[in-house]
Chains A and B, each alone.
Chain A
Amino acid sequence: MERVGVFICHCGSNIGAVVDCAKVAENVRNYPGVAYSTDYKYMCSEPGQEMIQNAIKEHNLNRVVVASCSPRMHEKTFRACVEKVGLNPYMFEMANIREHCSWVHAGKNEEATEKATDLVKMAVSKVCKNEELQKGHAPVTKRALVVGGGIAGIQCALDIANNGYQVDILERTPSIGGKMSQIDKTFPTIDCSACILTPKMVEASSHPNINLITYSELEHVDGYVGNFEVTIRKKARSVDIKKCTGCGTCMTKCPGKADDEFNMNLRKRTAIYTPFPQAIPNKPVIDRVNCLKFKSRENGKDVCGICSKFCPTGAIDYEQVDELVTEKYGAIVMATGYEQFDHSIYGEYGYGKYPDVISGLHFERLVNASGPTQGHIVRPSDHKEPKTVVMVKCVGSRDPEHGKSYCSRTCCMYTAKQATMIRDHCPDTKVYVFYMDVRTPGKLYDEFYNRTREEYGVEYVRGRVSKIYQDGEQLMVKGEDTLLGKQVEIAADMVILANAMIPQTDSEKMAQIVGIGYDKDGWFTESHPKLGPVETHTAGVFLAGACQGPKDIPDSVAQAGAAAVKVCALLSKDQLETEPTVSKVDTKICSGCGLCVPVCPYKAITLETIQERRAGKTIERLVANVNSSLCQGCGACTVTCRSGAANLKHFTNAQILAEVDALCQTIL
């Protein structure tokens, strides 16, 4: 027999000033199922909760409805409250008469009171159909996967490893290091990027708890928090990493040439290569697209093989194939970083055709001592030192029409950094910066920017560049100085564009593989913009670094640490509590048609063969089965299921129908 206790909260005057709480309590006193009904000033307060607990004991209540604020606010509070006196926490319902009633119907006291009554009746009708539910438990694989081996991934892995947990770093390029390894100096300290990054890379590679899986791709993710099963494609390196000593002979002998993407195609590399000298692992891979041997094989021949001939350890293996391995992890950190916006869509910047209009990352390679020009700032076209450099900010950023609507956050600072570096390397070179705004919120950032202008004499022009065109050897940059309100034209030798940060081109596919959300631009979505910045909506998957949105190095490192803490908190548990509000299939009803299987976003439903006694015979038949650890309780299957075999606990068909009926019964 249902014995529901109803408690109407005034929330001080928040509810009480509009809704006649005593009347609502009175209105439902005789409602079917209600055994006790009352109102009180603050239900969530200590005395309020005690009042509920006492009433449960005194009136032998087996279900409770509290009408107060949003369940998103206090459902947990009241569940804990009723649980303390022995009630199952799922025998509780909340009616939202504050956010959905008193606050939005100010002055309409009579109607609001009537509405509150309806909402309470709905809650009572539902709670009468509620069932006791128990949280489930799932084991935890005490090992984490970090996807992406940039600074965020490395830092996150180190933090997890230093907490004593095994962690794998999955990196799709031949080496860890990421974008930071391409950068020459870091702002605002102008310290050498490699000098602070490479020790971290070495530490990661030598850490007993860290395992590097480079030149590999994420293929497939199954499972759930604490128990992910991740399939990884280990791409064929064509080099046996166990035999290779990293001596580099092969690279000196290789006749194949290819664009050097690490150096932004500013020079060529060999077909067998490591991306950069400090690469980790420092073992080459064969770029099969550009390898003479593999190219000849496409034409039915088999030439070259020089690297193999010269390799002292016989590590070259042309017959290697991609390998798929499946590993188990308890948590996954996505640290897949960003890409640089491609400015070739902009006609006003020359569609990317002018060799001396380069991006920020090009410049980093130009100015790097181990880069293609040994650190000399020269024009890519004729290798002359530029005398006038124009820098353009917000290329692709803050441009909802052609580029991205967001601010890329890092460009103001890296432009300032690069401007000072030009002035340092080439004191005679004039530097102009076209900008929309200068945004420097960071420790010592604004001071750096001011030094750039005041001490380094970099000229900032507020305005957009309307056109860049080639005029002889020079680039004419036309724009408007909006502060002076006049057109300006600068004859420049080189133009550096501050390209926006954009997500990896396949970030949406990645998100779908892992089962996390992404925004309109393709950045991965955090679970809460303020209170869950490194969590995702998928339990056990966390975010670090720029894959969540544009970030500079300190922010990425900080977020990596935050994600690591969340991972460790998860891995420190022996068992995980799982929500019981999941789908369940009544096998007596299920026909095993399997229509629910493809509908489940968590692959939680499988078809299983069960045995059944029927008319004296044992028969075998298919039925759907929900893995309650995988199921997150969306309910998609329940509507797909025609016969109602699939039902969502705590949001059952009967419970929702009871609410609908309760609302409608007053209509006559």
Chain B
Amino acid sequence: MSDIQSEMRATAKQLLESGEATVVIGWEKGTMPYNSTPVMIRSAADVDKLIWDEYCQQNLSTYLIDFIYTEDKVAIFAKGCDTRAYNRLIQDKRISADKCIVIGVPCSGMKSAKAAAKLPEGAEVPMSKACKECRYPNPVVFDRKIGQDVTPWCTEKDFSDVEAIEAMDQDAKAAFWKEQYTKCIRCYACRNICPACNCTNCIFDQSASGWQSKDINASENQFYGVTRAFHVAGRCIECGQCEMVCPSDVPIMLMNKKFIKDIDTLFGAYEAGLETEGPVPLSHYEVSDPEEFM
């Protein structure tokens, strides 16, 4: 890892010194050992802040949106999931490729900071769930690449958790989701970190539109949850950030993965964030789509 870290610093230095980039976004060490947190480097003198360790979980691509109206040329370090997020943002026309330099970093999976926070110091920290299920640890798009590609440890999408819910009876399902969404405090961290939730003005920030009141209860929270899942259906790049940032531990990916599973089954396997062109499942149709409404 340290090789990658020094190469990161060297790359950042070169980019900033040459003027190819005015900003480099990477990770620095945070408050706790398990906090590796985004950092913006503008000066070659600061590149030693950059680190690469097993907690560089956070997706940096969404920060590119902040620079669309500045004069900056922004370089970001990007793992496989970050590059899918990058494609998502390109496809949604939220960022333009000519302002960005993507430095791909193959990733071997990140550890769960949430688990680490609960475990005693020195204990073995498990990999994040999304990382365990990751099929694209290597960058799918990049301008440069650091390090060697790794062999993906998953080839198939793992829907066992979704299937476990599907196997429950109706009352158990309802009770499960009600419990989960009772916890939601509607802080919108899941939305704000999501690369697919990139609207400039989310419907949940428009209380006057009448879509949702600010009342907090399981019903309203579920409306938020299922609506957000529907909005990212066919667009979710499975980074799992939503679930990782949730202060209430709501299993948000269980919603997203349900849509992914059904889209694959009904309309054919689809991988969001691999391409920047072509139809997205829900803004497209086939005359031959399954017919069960006759």
Contact residues of A with B, CB < 8 Å?
A: 588-596, 598-599, 607, 614, 617, 619, 621-622, 640, 642-645, 653-654, 657-658
Tell whether, in the assembled complex, residue B203 and residue A643 are in contact, meaning their CB atoms are under 8 Å apart.
yes
Residues of B within 8 A of A640 (CB): 282-283
Tell whether, in the assembled complex, residue A617 and residue B203 are in contact, meaning their CB atoms are under 8 Å apart.
no
Q: Measured between alpha carbons, how far is A599 from B198 in the docked complex, in Å?
A: 20
Q: B219 at interface (Cβ–Cβ under 8 A)?
A: no
15 A-B pairs within 8 Å (CB atoms) are namely A589-B199, A589-B200, A589-B206, A593-B199, A594-B92, A594-B93, A595-B283, A599-B283, A640-B282, A640-B283, A642-B199, A643-B200, A644-B206, A653-B211, A654-B210
Tell whether, in the assembled complex, residue A622 and residue B93 are in contact, meaning their CB atoms are under 8 Å apart.
yes
Residues of A within 8 A of B200 (CB): 589-591, 643
Q: Measured between alpha carbons, how far is A617 from B68 in the docked complex, in Å?
A: 13
Tell whether, in the assembled complex, residue B92 and residue A654 are in contact, meaning their CB atoms are under 8 Å apart.
no
Query: Known: A653-B211, A654-B209. Contact between A589 and B201, CB under 8 A?
Result: yes
* A642 closest partner in B (C-beta): B231
Residues of B within 8 A of A598 (CB): 279, 283-284
Contact residues of B with A, CB < 8 Å?
A: 68-69, 92-94, 198-203, 206, 209-211, 231, 279-280, 282-284
Give the top 3 A-B pairs by smallest Cβ distance, nearest first: A643-B199, A593-B92, A642-B231
Q: Measured between alpha carbons, how far is A658 from B211 in the docked complex, in Å?
A: 10
Tell whether, in the assembled complex, residue A644 and residue B211 are in contact, meaning their CB atoms are under 8 Å apart.
yes
Beyond A594-B92, A598-B283, 7 additional contacts (C-beta under 8 Å) are: A589-B200, A589-B201, A591-B93, A591-B94, A621-B68, A643-B201, A653-B210
* A623 closest partner in B (C-beta): B200
Closest Cβ of chain A to B103, distance in Å, is 26
Residues of A within 8 A of B198 (CB): 591, 593
Query: Known: A595-B280, A614-B69, A617-B69. Contact between A642 and B93, CB under 8 A?
Result: no
Which of B92, B201, B279, B283 meets A588, CB within 8 Å? B201
Q: Which of B68, B202, B209 has the most CB of A within 10 A?
A: B209
Residues of A within 8 A of B231 (CB): 642
Residues of A within 8 A of B211 (CB): 644, 653, 657
* B285 closest partner in A (C-beta): A599
Residues of B within 8 A of A590 (CB): 200
Residues of B within 8 A of A645 (CB): 201
Q: Measured between alpha carbons, how far is A596 from B282 in the docked complex, in Å?
A: 10
Tell whether, in the assembled complex, residue B206 and residue A592 are in contact, meaning their CB atoms are under 8 Å apart.
no
* B92 closest partner in A (C-beta): A593
Q: Measured between alpha carbons, how far is A597 from B256 in the docked complex, in Å?
A: 24
Tell whether, in the assembled complex, residue B69 and residue A591 are in contact, meaning their CB atoms are under 8 Å apart.
no
Closest Cβ of chain B to A277, distance in Å, is 44
* A612 closest partner in B (C-beta): B69
Closest Cβ of chain B to A508, distance in Å, is 10
Residues of A within 8 A of B280 (CB): 595
* B204 closest partner in A (C-beta): A643
* A599 closest partner in B (C-beta): B283
Closest Cβ of chain B to A109, distance in Å, is 34
* A586 closest partner in B (C-beta): B201
Closest Cβ of chain A to B97, distance in Å, is 15
Q: Measured between alpha carbons, how far is A654 from B92 in the docked complex, in Å?
A: 26
Query: Known: A593-B92, A593-B94, A622-B93. Contact between A643 and B202, CB under 8 A?
Result: yes
Tell whether, in the assembled complex, residue A644 and residue B209 are in contact, meaning their CB atoms are under 8 Å apart.
yes
* A639 closest partner in B (C-beta): B282
Q: Measured between alpha carbons, how far is A654 from B280 in the docked complex, in Å?
A: 27
Residues of B within 8 A of A592 (CB): 93
Residues of B within 8 A of A642 (CB): 199, 202-203, 231
Q: Measured between alpha carbons, how far is A373 from B270 in the docked complex, in Å?
A: 61
Residues of B within 8 A of A614 (CB): 69
